[in-house]
Amino acid sequence: MNDMDENTKNNEFINHLGLEMIEESSKYAKGRIPVKAELLNPFGTMHGGVLYSLADIVAGIAAQASGNRCVTLSGSLNFLLPGTDTKYIYCEAFLERMGKHTAVYRVEIKDDEGKLLDTGTFTYFAI
């Protein structure tokens, strides 16, 4: 499956989301979650908080792949389109800058067909 550290693999919230990592390195990471009823908002689309969490977790896994323990300094997510008629929601994190103590990732969230649903930026601090 993947090389997520034990703390991440055993995290109940991550397991509740059903996160499956597809690829991970310090420069790029990709993961997906299944669309399931308990993750939907009242309108029947993926809840924004779930999407934000997905982006934060996938980018955070990339940041930690550098060998550092990292915490989120800031994050922003632009909700462009709702996730409908898709089995999975995918998130990709792309390294924008790796500094001595901070790392910045651009994220893209897409559906099964590769349609861009959300974009954002997340910054991590190496502790």
pLDDT interval class at 7 (50, 70, 90): low
Please state the pTM of the whole predicted model: 0.93
Domain boundaries, the chain: 6-126
6-126 is classed CATH 3.50.50.60:
no
Those residues whose C-beta lies under 8 Å from the C-beta of residue 31, and which sit 6 or more positions away, are 19, 20, 21, 22, 24, 54, 57, 58, 61, 90, 91
- 34 contacts 87 by C-beta, under 8 angstroms: yes
Q: pLDDT tens digits for 72-122?
A: 999 999 999 998 899 999 999 999 999 999 999 999 999 999 999 999 999
Q: pLDDT tens digits for 43-60?
A: 999 999 999 999 999 999
| CA-based R_g, the chain, Å | 14
Q: Which is more confidently placed, 7 or 95?
A: 95
Sheet holding 28-34, edge to edge: 20-24, 28-34, 88-98, 102-110, 116-126, 70-79
